[in-house]
Amino acid sequence: MLFFKGSTTGALFRAAVLLVIRYYIAIMAAAVVKSIGLMSGTSIDGGISVALISTDGESKVNRLASLEYTYEPGYLNPLRPIHHATKAGELAYRAAKGDHEGASRAYPEALKRYCEETFHSLTKAQVANKISEITDAFLKVTPGHSQLTLEAVIDKSTRLHVEAVEALIQQESIQRQEIAFIGYHGQTLFHAPFDRITVQVGHPKFMADRTGIPVVYDFRSNDVAHGGQGAPLAPIYHLALAKQAGLEGIAVLNLGGTANLSLVLTQSESPLAFDTGPANALIDLWVKERLDRSHDIDSELALKGTINQAALDALLKSAIILPDGRNYLDILPPKSLDIRDYNFKVPEFLKLSVEDGCATLNAFTAECVVRGLEYAKAIPKRWAACGGGVKNLHLLKTLTRRVKEVYRLDIELTSADALGWSSAAMEAELFAFLAVRSARGLPITFPSTTGVREPMTGGRLVNT
């Protein structure tokens, strides 16, 4: 994991006293404290999820507040300079295999390549103009930078996360001294778990200084250093929610850019968890490429389409091929993916209409989940879905049908909201929860969730 130091301000005596009190309370056994969590997904969709909970980091969770902080609404700024500049950062880190200095040097070329791939219908001259437009628009909303660089992207991302925290504090009229921690995941720009590399960027010290609240960050690197995949991190939170609700046997399916599944079979053992494959990532790219839309709203296109079996078979065979040549679907869990591990550009698929393509990609997502279930000791009947994919009715119906066809099981698939949880704020709540666990020295990853050799702590604390 890669984070960067922010500016340091002089610590006032009162702030130091409050910090000692916060930290002492948090590490007390069974102490329940308030914690804020943040999450910005790999889709970089113009918003940051932020949530406030009170928790002991084990089985007590009280969901207090949340919001979706929108910083780049497409209807106001269709150019989306922050989105494009940050997505180019993914290419830069991939080119540098996770090395920051290499990624910084590679960024100008990565921005050019990203724009060529994203705006592929434009001429070279038009692409050059697009790069200039993105650069000018980015710098207008990023004071203090005269050039669009990787460092400028990281700085902007950090400041947006700080704004999200401040928005929640203002919305809820919270006293800062009430909050023990901020759980700051940062922005993922590269994840190569089979190469033992994961990169999340941001300036936690800057956030702590600006907010006056201690920040817990770097949740993945200790797991990776001890043989784990660094993901998924959500299972321990899913287990806590299940315990509190008295649920024995539930599957929690997170449908963000990538789909990940937690199988909570009992309240006494860690779940089996893994990334199954794409959720929204491929269908968003497909609709963007064909119609220049951000996504298939309410499954409108997919519901008009027909699943093409030949194209589906081709996707299953070649859409998730890892750098070492293995098909991800053939690998035993625990396992995880990077957003750029997917590829729908196979001949059988590319000839489809946009509607049939949407339907077929939903079927592909569902089939990836179904194949992953082969490795489960048991399949729960109750399922809770969270993330943006809960609005994809075609996907949910396709998944329910395929589980019944393959395993002869009628699953009860609902949104997490139906259980009194939050499908939208689940991951932000997760990092608020993990911040408290980390402060108490409790493990956050396990052999059955990330493949780490033993239960592993994670998350580092930076003070104001």
Please spell the DSSP secondary structure of 40-91, one letter per residue: --TT--SEEEEEEEEE-SSS-EEEEEEEEEES--TTT-TT-HHHHHHHHHHH
Residue type, 81: P
Q: How confident is the model at residue 288 (pLDDT cuts 50, 70, 90)?
A: confident
Q: For residue 134, what are the CA distances in angstroms to 40, 78, 85, 128?
A: 21, 11, 7, 10
Phi, psi (deg, nearest 5) at residue 389: -70, -10
What is residue 292's predicted lDDT score, i.e. its pLDDT?
81
Closest residue by Cα to residue 221 from 44, 460, 439: 460
* pLDDT, average across residues 323-344: 93
Query: How does the average pLDDT of the chain come out, rounded?
Result: 92
Better-predicted residue by pLDDT, 459 or 29 = 459
What is residue 13's predicted lDDT score, i.e. its pLDDT?
37
pTM of the model: 0.91
Distance CA 156, CA 134 (A): 14
| Each residue's pLDDT tens digit, 359-404 | 999 999 999 999 999 999 999 999 999 998 999 999 999 999 999 9
Helix (H, G, I), strand (E, B) or coil at 298: helix
| Each residue's pLDDT tens digit, 159-213 | 999 999 999 999 999 999 999 999 999 999 999 999 999 999 999 999 999 999 9
CB within 8 Å of 114: residues ≥ 6 apart: 84, 87, 88, 91
Q: Is the pLDDT of residue 155 over 80?
A: yes
Q: Is the pLDDT of residue 16 over 80?
A: no
Residue type, 458: G
CB within 8 Å of 163: residues ≥ 6 apart: 69, 71
Distance CA 44, CA 49 (A): 11
Q: Which residues are paired to 243 by β-bridges? A: none
What is residue 232's predicted lDDT score, i.e. its pLDDT?
95
| Each residue's pLDDT tens digit, 45-89 | 899 999 999 999 998 999 999 999 999 987 667 899 999 999 999
Distance CA 158, CA 151 (A): 11
Q: Is the pLDDT of residue 30 over 60?
A: no
What is residue 20's predicted lDDT score, i.e. its pLDDT?
47
Q: Is the pLDDT of residue 221 over 80?
A: yes
Written as one string, the DSSP assignment of 228-280 is: ------THHHHHHHHHHHT-SSEEEEEESSEEEEEEE--SSSPPEEEEEEESS
Distance CA 19, CA 428 (A): 23
What is residue 76's predicted lDDT score, i.e. its pLDDT?
67
Q: How confident is the model at residue 339 (pLDDT cuts 50, 70, 90)?
A: confident
Q: How confident is the model at residue 223 (pLDDT cuts 50, 70, 90)?
A: very high
Q: Is the pLDDT of residue 95 over 60?
A: yes
What is residue 18's predicted lDDT score, i.e. its pLDDT?
44
Q: How confident is the model at residue 37 (pLDDT cuts 50, 70, 90)?
A: very high
As given in the structure block, the two tokens for residue 185 are: 């995941």
What is residue 268's predicted lDDT score, i.e. its pLDDT?
82
What is residue 414's predicted lDDT score, i.e. its pLDDT?
95
- CA torsion 288-72-198-114 (nearest 10°) is 40
What is residue 274's predicted lDDT score, i.e. its pLDDT?
96
As given in the structure block, the two tokens for residue 53 are: 């909970």
Radius of gyration of the chain (CA): 21
The domains found in the chain, sorted by start residue, are: 81-152 (no CATH), 235-419 (3.30.420.40)
What is residue 270's predicted lDDT score, i.e. its pLDDT?
87
Residue 90, judged by CB atoms within 10 A of its CB (0-12, 13-18, 19+), counts as buried
Closest residue by Cα to residue 253 from 31, 404, 454, 403: 403
Strands 272-278 and 187-192: unpaired
Share of residues in the chain with pLDDT > 70 (%): 93
What is residue 325's predicted lDDT score, i.e. its pLDDT?
93
What is residue 12's predicted lDDT score, i.e. its pLDDT?
37
Do residues 254 and 426 touch, judged by C-beta distance below 8 A? yes
Phi, psi (deg, nearest 5) at residue 253: -110, 110
